[in-house]
């Protein structure tokens, strides 16, 4: 079944309100295995709404109209849909009774004739009671197309959808199940090209790539009657994906809320090990990211933010002359910073980030040149990273992702540098 959502309200088009109902309804429909193909917004205008309904009725099996059920003249959704279908509006007795009781309990409210519009439904509709408001919704099948009208305020729409609409629509027993795979070290275009054979033939399950700053996720989705069957289908597809190229090594986790930083934090916690950091271009971002997690003090014992050569020499106890010779933006300095951060704090690992966030060059290096140093109690190593063509903010963010990924690989390698 192809569904289409039509938001009615000039205030949406002028940006006065955000159409959160579309997101809510799309999520709800996906959960019961229903595909939403179109999101449309139209103003409070009968002529334009009639044109939208004409188009929607030719391409969709289920049309949901949100908003425009109130008492004023610009609330014209039911009136326009009734005109489009050639059916009269009638009064729903239960909705009228609710109106009567509402005004009877509030003698200071003046009831006018237009208030009764909220109790109207299109002839032949199944009423959808409004538990938090006065405007009744409706469910109607005409010529193979299902039309649904819902109130606009989310406080009224959500209870009506959850309590009245979903039970009417959820007849297949199938639900949508998803699994998110997270990758670092590959771009979206490269990943899609690598998986072009699977994407070309996909039907169920489906593959949807999403690019984020510095990383890519794949959302695998399938419809099934129970979680076990869904898990079998998603696991089979996941294995097919990971057998392409080096994807098994580039995938680091699952879920929308997972992250490289959280994975590193959990690995350090499980191993009861600690880390310290010396940051130049990232200005404490690496440490601040770890500090977001409860219990961070057991993992992050301390660290340094040293922008200038003078502070690198003073706080990290680096040799000024050697620092001047090798430069701030260098593999040697990254190693020295990591070693000193670890030694001074007494942590198990030390990590350092130095480089050029831009936009200007530094020491002859272009923006995006980054060196990451990583030190254990026995060894240290520097890793060059090129993050060109990005903003200052993105360069700093992606540099931290690289640092966390190096820590992830090291911890999964039993603490040995990769």
Q: Please check whether residues 161 and 189 belong to one and the same domain.
A: no
pLDDT at residue 108, rounded to an integer: 85
Q: What is the pLDDT of residue 111?
A: 87
Q: Domain for residue 418, yes or no?
A: no
Q: Which of 254, 274, 299 is the C-terminal boundary of a domain?
A: 254
CATH number for the domain harbouring residue 190: 3.30.70.2860
How confident is the model at residue 223, as a pLDDT? 87
Residues 237 and 362 in one domain: no
Same structural domain, 219 and 333: no
Could you state, in chain order, the average pLDDT of each consecutive group of 10 residues for the chain (418 residues)? 95 96 95 92 97 98 96 92 97 95 89 91 97 96 96 97 93 84 95 95 92 94 91 97 94 93 97 98 97 97 95 96 96 98 98 96 96 97 95 96 97 93
Q: What is the 3-state secondary structure (H, E, C) of the chain?
A: CEEEEEEECHHHHCCCCCCHHHHHHHHHHHHCCCEEEEEEEECCCHHHHHHHHHHHHHHCCEEEEECCCCCCCCCCHHHHHHHHHCCCEEECHHHHHHHHHHHHCCCCCCCCHHHHHHHEEECCCEEECCCCCCCCEEEEEECCEEEEEECCCHHHHHHHHHHHHHHHHCCCCCEEEEEEEEEECCCHHHHHHHCHHHHHCCCCCEEEEEEECCEEEEEEEEEECCHHHHHHHHHHHHHHHHCCCCHHHHEEEECCCCCHHHHHHHHHHHHCCCEEEEECCCCCHHHHHHHCCCCHHHCEEEEEECCCHHHHHHHCCCCHHHHHHHCCCCHHHHHHHHHHHHHHHCCCEEEEEEECCCCCCECCECCCEEEEEEECCCCEEEEEEECCCCCHHHHHHHHHHHHHHHHHHHHHCCCCCC
pLDDT, position 405: 97
- The model's pLDDT over 88-116, given as tens digits with 9 standing for 90+, comes to 999 999 999 999 999 999 888 888 888 99
Among 169, 197, 215, the domain-final residue is 169
> Tens digits of per-residue pLDDT, 333-383?
999 999 999 999 999 999 999 999 999 999 999 999 999 999 999 999 999
269 in a structural domain: yes
21 lies in some domain: yes
Q: Note whether 221 and 269 are same-domain residues.
A: no
Are 334 and 351 in the same domain?
yes
Domain holding 116: CATH number?
3.40.980.10
165 with 181, same domain: the answer is no
* pLDDT of the residue at 294: 96
Count: domains in the chain: 3
Give yes or no: residues 215 and 315 share one domain: no
- Which pLDDT score, from 0 to 100, does residue 256 have? 86
Q: Is 156 in the same domain as 266?
A: no
Domain CATH number, residue 331: 3.90.950.20
pLDDT number for residue 129: 97
* Cβ atoms of residues 382 and 329 within 8 Å: no
Domain extent at residue 97 = 2-169
Tell whether 39 and 152 lie within a shared domain. yes
pLDDT at position 175 is 82
Residue 50 lies in a domain: yes
Q: Answer yes or no: is 417 within a domain.
A: no
Are 232 and 336 contained in the same domain?
no
Residue 355 within a domain:
yes
Whether residues 47 and 143 share a domain: the answer is: yes
Question: pTM to 2 decimals?
Answer: 0.77
Q: Is residue 266 part of a domain?
A: yes
Q: How far is the CA of 94 from the CAs of 65, 127, 137, 162, in angstroms?
A: 22, 9, 12, 20
Residue 81, pLDDT score: 98
Q: Encoding tokens for residue 16? A: 């006065």
Closest-CA residue to 328 (of 388, 277, 278, 400): 278
Answer whether residue 62 is part of any domain: yes
Tell which of 147, 169, 191 closes a domain. Answer: 169
> Do 7 and 64 belong to one domain?
yes
């Amino acid at each position: 079944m192809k569904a289409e959502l039509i938001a009615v309200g000039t205030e949406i088009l002028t940006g006065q309100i955000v159409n959160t109902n579309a997101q809510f309804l799309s999520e709800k429909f996906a959960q019961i295995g229903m595909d939403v193909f179109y999101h449309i917004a139209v103003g409070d205008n009968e002529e334009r709404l009639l044109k939208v309904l004409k188009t929607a009725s030719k391409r969709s099996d289920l049309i949901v109209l949100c908003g425009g059920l109130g008492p004023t003249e610009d609330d014209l959704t039911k009136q326009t849909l009734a005109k489009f279908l050639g059916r009269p509006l009638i009064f729903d007795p239960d909705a009228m009774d609710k109106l009567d009781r509402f005004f009877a309990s509030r003698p200071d409210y003046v009831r006018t004739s237009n208030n009764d519009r909220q109790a109207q439904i299109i002839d032949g509709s199944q009423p959808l009671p409004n538990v938090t408001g006065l405007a009744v919704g409706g469910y109607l099948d005409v010529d193979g197309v299902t039309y649904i009208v819902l109130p606009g305020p989310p406080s009224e729409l959500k209870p009506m959808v959850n309590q009245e609409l979903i039970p009417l629509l959820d007849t297949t027993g199938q639900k949508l199940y998803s699994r998110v795979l997270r990758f670092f070290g590959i771009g979206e275009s490269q990943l899609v090209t690598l998986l072009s054979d699977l994407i070309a033939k996909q039907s169920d399950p489906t593959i949807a790539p999403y690019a984020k700053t510095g990383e890519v996720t794949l959302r695998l989705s399938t419809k099934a009657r129970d979680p076990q069957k869904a898990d079998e289908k998603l696991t089979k597809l996941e294995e097919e994906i990971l057998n392409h190229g080096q994807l098994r090594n580039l995938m680091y986790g699952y879920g929308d809320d997972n992250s490289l930083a959280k994975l590193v934090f959990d690995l350090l916690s499980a191993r009861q090990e600690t880390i310290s950091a010396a940051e130049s271009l990232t200005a404490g971002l690496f440490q601040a990211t770890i500090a977001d997690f409860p219990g961070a003090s057991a993992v992050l014992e301390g660290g340094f933010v040293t922008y200038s050569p003078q502070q690198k020499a003073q706080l990290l106890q680096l040799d000024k002359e050697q620092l001047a010779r090798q430069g701030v933006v260098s593999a040697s300095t990254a190693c020295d910073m990591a070693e000193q951060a670890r030694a001074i704090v007494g942590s198990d690992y030390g990590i350092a980030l130095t480089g050029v966030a831009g936009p200007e060059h530094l020491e002859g290096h272009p923006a995006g040149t980054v060196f990451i140093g990583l030190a254990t109690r026995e060894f240290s190593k520097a890793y060059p990273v090129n993050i060109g063509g990005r903003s200052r903010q993105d360069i700093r963010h992606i540099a931290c992702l690289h640092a966390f990924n190096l820590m992830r690989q090291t911890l999964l390698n039993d603490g040995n540098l990769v």
